[in-house]
């Protein structure tokens, strides 16, 4: 029997889905149930919390989900949850279900909602970083990032084959509205010549100059990686600009939402299992308003107000290394 005063906890996934959310749900549910704490799954994140869509989760409900992409609890982005009256409705629903603690699996936007809910309605909440973007402050890694990088990389390797066969330039757009982590990792791993992110803006003149120099050195094909901007399609603008400046034809490939799907990598399953187990242990031990993250492969607890108030900068060293090695 647990010594925790919590009798029933709620688990939800929120924001963009990420491969590894299912192993995280599995680990959270099984950790809680093994301590005789009941678990309720809240469907579609804050949308389901407001609309009272919740299901009881048992041990066997977690069977055969460890390898599945997406999230069995479904997810959502809720603008309504940013309004206090909707949070009050959600809190009433949680209380009516007897839920006295929450595990939130999501990114920093989801944690902002969690913090407000926790502060206004005195519900203990622990966060688990789950987003392909890897842009959550306080943790080296987020659930789904590794899988997304590998999914994008597989596509880039295939693009490289056709780029090489036709002596072509390709601009490959990867996900990351506000984050260049996927771009910098797949750029280095995929042998890209240029990597464009919000933190690494390169002028079209410079890109054209670099492309021409590459050709002069004997390179016959080139891969440019760009992170998407606020909406997908930045790669088309860049391709048009390159054509106008230089006459060079750069083909575009937008990888899009395939990066969010697929079976989670071993790395993401292990990360998800460790984080979710520690999150439930922390909640049951009476801790609140923190995120379980990983730093230098050790699990850490970071206050949610720090997580949501700070930016995690991208790693520009990878971008510089990619450029150096693509010579
Ligand atoms: O979940 C993160 C993310 O995939 C970003 O990389 C991307 O910019 C955004 O979500 C897309 O969101 P949506 O699927 O809501 O269009």
The hierarchical CATH code for the domain 146-261 is 3.40.50.460
Residues comprising the chain, all counted? 327
Catalytic residues: 133
pLDDT per position as a tens digit, 32-81: 999 999 999 999 999 999 999 999 999 999 999 999 999 999 999 999 99
Which residues neighbour 236 within 8 Å (Cβ) at sequence distance 6 or greater?
252
Cβ–Cβ < 8 Å for 114, 102:
yes
130 DSSP 8-state letter: B
CA–CA separation, 151 vs 261, rounded Å?
A: 9
- Mean pLDDT taken over the chain: 96
Instruction: State the pLDDT at residue 1.
Output: 46
CA of 17 to the centre of ligand 1 (A): 8
DSSP β-bridge partners for residue 251: 170
The DSSP letter of residue 35 is T
Q: Kindly give the number of the ligand 1 atom that is closest to the alpha carbon of 176.
A: 6
104: β partners: 12, 127
Q: Ligand 1: does its nearest atom lie under 6 Å from the Cβ of 176?
A: yes
Q: What is the structure's pLDDT at 257? A: 97
pLDDT at position 2, please? 55
pTM attached to this predicted model: 0.97
Q: State the Cα–Cα distance between residues 108 and 70, nearest whole angstrom.
A: 19
Q: Give me ligand 1 centre to Cα 260, in Å.
A: 8
User: In the chain, which segments carry CATH 3.40.50.450?
Assistant: 8-144+264-307
Tens of pLDDT, residue by residue, the chain (327 residues): 456 899 999 999 999 999 999 999 999 999 999 999 999 999 999 999 999 999 999 999 999 999 999 999 999 999 999 999 999 999 999 999 999 999 999 999 999 999 999 999 999 999 999 999 999 999 999 999 999 999 999 999 999 999 999 999 999 999 998 899 999 999 999 999 999 999 899 999 999 999 999 999 999 999 999 999 777 889 999 999 999 999 999 999 999 999 999 999 999 999 999 999 999 999 999 999 999 999 999 999 999 999 999 999 998 999 999 999 998
Nearest to 194 by CA among 180, 179, 176: 180
Crossing angle of the two packed helices 108-121 and 84-96, in degrees rounded to 10: 70
Angle at 43 between CA 39 and CA 48, to 5 degrees: 115
Ligand 1 centroid to Cα of residue 317, in Å, is 25
Among candidate residues 82, 118, 109, the one with its CA nearest the CA of residue 10: 118
Report the top-level CATH class of 8-144+264-307: alpha beta
| Binding residue numbers | 16, 26-30, 77-78, 107-110, 131-133, 160, 168, 175-177, 191-193, 217, 219-221, 228, 251, 257-260
182 CB near ligand 1 (under 6 Å): no
Report the alpha-carbon distance of residue 35 to residue 31 in Å, rounded.
Answer: 7
Q: By three-state DSSP, how is residue 168 classified?
A: coil
For CATH 3.40.50.460, the residue range(s) in the chain are: 146-261
Cα-Cα end-to-end distance for the chain: 61
234 lines ligand 1 (CB under 6 A): no
**H-type alpha helices, the chain:** 21-34, 46-50, 84-96, 108-121, 145-166, 181-189, 204-216, 234-246, 266-284, 304-309, 316-325
């Amino acid at each position: 029997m647990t010594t925790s005063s919590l009798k029933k906890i709620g688990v939800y996934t929120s924001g963009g889905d990420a491969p590894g959310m299912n192993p995280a749900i599995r680990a959270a549910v099984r950790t809680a149930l093994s301590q005789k704490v009941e678990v309720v799954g809240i469907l579609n994140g804050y949308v389901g919390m407001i609309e009272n869509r919740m299901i009881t989760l048992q041990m066997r409900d977690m069977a055969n989900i460890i390898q599945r992409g997406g999230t069995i609890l479904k997810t959502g982005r809720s603008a309504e949850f940013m309004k206090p009256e909707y949070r009050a409705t959600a809190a009433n629903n949680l209380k009516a279900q007897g839920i006295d603690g929450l595990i939130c699996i999501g990114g920093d936007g989801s944690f902002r909602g969690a913090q407000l809910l926790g502060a206004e309605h005195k519900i203990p909440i622990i966060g688990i970083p789950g987003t392909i973007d890897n842009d959550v402050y306080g943790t080296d890694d987020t659930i789904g990032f590794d899988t997304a990088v590998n999914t994008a990389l597989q596509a880039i390797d295939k693009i490289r084959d056709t780029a090489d066969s036709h002596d072509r330039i390709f601009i490959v757009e990867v996900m990351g509205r506000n984050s260049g982590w996927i771009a910098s990792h797949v750029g280095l791993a995929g042998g890209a010549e240029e990597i464009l992110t919000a933190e690494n803006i390169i002028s079209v003149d410079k890109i054209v100059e670099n492309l021409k120099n590459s050709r002069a050195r004997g390179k016959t094909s080139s891969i440019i990686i760009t992170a998407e901007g606020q909406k997908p399609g930045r790669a088309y603008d860049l391709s048009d600009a390159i054509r106008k400046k230089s006459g060079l034809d750069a083909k575009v490939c937008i990888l899009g939402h395939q990066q969010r799907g697929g079976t989670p990598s071993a790395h993401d399953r292990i990360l998800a299992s460790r984080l979710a187990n520690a999150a439930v242990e922390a909640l049951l031990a009476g801790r609140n308003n923190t995120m379980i993250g990983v730093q230098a492969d050790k699990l850490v607890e970071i206050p949610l107000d720090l997580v949501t108030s700070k930016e995690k900068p991208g790693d520009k060293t990878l971008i510089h290394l990619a450029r150096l090695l693509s010579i």
